[in-house]
Amino acid sequence: MLTLGIETSCDETSVAVIDDKFQIRSNVIISQIDIHQAFGGVVPEIAARNHIENILPVLDEALKKANLTLSQIDQVAATTQPGLPGAVMVGRVFGRSLANALDVPFVAINHLHGHMSSLRLSNPDLQPPMLCLLVSGGHTILYRVNENWETQMLCTTADDAVGEAFDKVARVLGLAYPGGPKISEHADMNLSFKPILNQFPKNTFSYSGLKTAVLNYINREKQKGNPIKLPEICANFQYCAVLQLLIRTREYLQNTGIKTLGICGGVSANRYLREQFQKLCDELGVKLYLPKPELCGDNAAMIASAAVLGIK
C-alpha cells in the first residue's frame, strides 16, 4: 500500500510517498527560510501564499522521484492541525480534494503525531511503550505512548516552546532566522563556559523566564560597558534550555519505569541535546531513539508514516 503525505503546517511545503513497510519512496521539501529571514520569523500570510504556489510542483517532483503515478496511490494523508491556519488549510484542502479525485481514503493527521512517527521511520526496531519528548518551535511536550501508539500527554510547557525560545534569543543576539542552529554553532565555540545564567528555573518546562534572563543579562553587560561574548551566552542558554528537558524527563523515566525514550521535533537535531540525553539514557539503562537528522524538521514522510501507523 502506498501512502502520499502532505505537510504545509508552517513554512515547508512537502509531499512524500511511503509504503506499508515504512520505506520512503520520495520526500520532497521546499523551504521558505530565505523568504522569511528578512522578517526575522515566519509571516503566516506569506507562508500560505507560497504553499499555494509550491504544492503542485512539489507533488509532481515527489511522484517523479518515486517513479509513480497518482493512479498508484492508495491513500492520501495531510496535516490538518495544529499549525498556521492559512498554511494548514492549503495542505488540508489540497489533500482532501486529491483523495476525492482519486477515490481513495483521506487521512487527517495531527502534526505532532507526525513528528512522533518520524521515530518509526528512522528506527525499524522501535516498539512502544515509550516516553516521547517532542521539542519543536511551537511545542514542548512529554508523552506516554502505549503499545498501540495511543498517546497520553504527561506535561508541557507553561509558556513558550523550547524551539521558540531558541529563535527569540537568537533574534536578541542579532543572529539570523532560524536561530536554533546559529545558537548551537556559537555554543560549540565555548564548551568550557562558566555558569553565568544559573538563575534560570530548571524544574519545569518554562522558557519565557529564560528568554527574559538572557535579555536582562545582555542589558546589564552593556550598561557596564562590557563586550557581549556571544559564544558564552549561547552556551549558557543552550545548557539551561536542555537542562530543563533532562530533569523533567529523568523524573518521568524513573517514576514510570519505562525503558524506552524517543525524542522528536526540530530541536531534536541539536547535537548538544542528543549528547546529553544519550548520557542520561546510558545512566538509567534506557534505550534512546532519535529521528535521522533529515527527518527532525517538518516533512511529509512523517505525515504519511502517521497514517500507516494509525497513531492516535
CB 135 within 8 A of CB 267: yes
Residue 39 has a pLDDT of 81
| Mean pLDDT (whole number) for 279-305 | 97
Question: Is residue 242 one of the residues assigned to a domain?
Answer: no
CB 1 within 8 A of CB 304: no
pLDDT in tens, 212-232: 889 889 999 999 999 988 998
Number of domains within the chain:
1
Of 190, 6, 188, 2, the closest CA to residue 97 belongs to 6
Residue 190 has a pLDDT of 65
Q: CA-CA distance, 260 to 119, in Å (whole number)?
A: 12
Question: Is residue 235 one of the residues assigned to a domain?
Answer: no
Residue 199 clears pLDDT 70, i.e. is over it: no
| 3 state SS of 296 | coil
Residue 147 clears pLDDT 80, i.e. is over it: yes
pLDDT in tens, 29-40: 998 888 887 787
Question: Is residue 193 one of the residues assigned to a domain?
Answer: no
pLDDT in tens, 34-89: 888 778 778 989 999 999 999 999 999 999 999 999 999 999 999 999 999 999 99
Question: Is residue 234 one of the residues assigned to a domain?
Answer: no
Secondary structure of 97-146 as H, E, C letters: HHHHHHCCCEEEEEHHHHHHHHHHHHCCCCCCCEEEEEECCCCEEEEEEC
Question: Is residue 146 one of the residues assigned to a domain?
Answer: no
Position 279, amino acid: K
Residues 6+ apart with CB under 8 A from 14: 5, 6, 7, 8, 27, 28, 29, 30, 58, 298, 299, 300, 301, 303
Cell match 548538544: residue?
Answer: 272
pLDDT in tens, 80-120: 999 999 999 999 999 999 999 999 999 999 999 999 999 99
CB 288 within 8 A of CB 263: yes
**Residue with more model confidence, 199 or 17:** 17
Helix (H) or strand (E) holding 18: strand 12-19
Note down the domain range covering 8: 2-117+295-309
**Residue with more model confidence, 25 or 32:** 25
Question: Is residue 108 one of the residues assigned to a domain?
Answer: yes
Residue 198 has a pLDDT of 55
Question: Is residue 30 one of the residues assigned to a domain?
Answer: yes
Residue 195 has a pLDDT of 64
Residue 312 clears pLDDT 80, i.e. is over it: no
Residues 6+ apart with CB under 8 A from 64: 26
CATH number, domain at 51?
Answer: 3.30.420.40
pLDDT in tens, 227-255: 988 998 999 899 989 999 999 999 999 99
| Mean pLDDT (whole number) for 108-133 | 96
Q: CA-CA distance, 58 to 90, in Å (whole number)?
A: 13
Residue 196 has a pLDDT of 62
pLDDT band at 193 (very low <50, low <70, confident <90, very high): low
Question: Is residue 112 one of the residues assigned to a domain?
Answer: yes
Q: CA-CA distance, 166 to 177, in Å (whole number)?
A: 10
pLDDT in tens, 149-190: 999 999 999 899 999 999 999 988 989 888 888 899 998 876
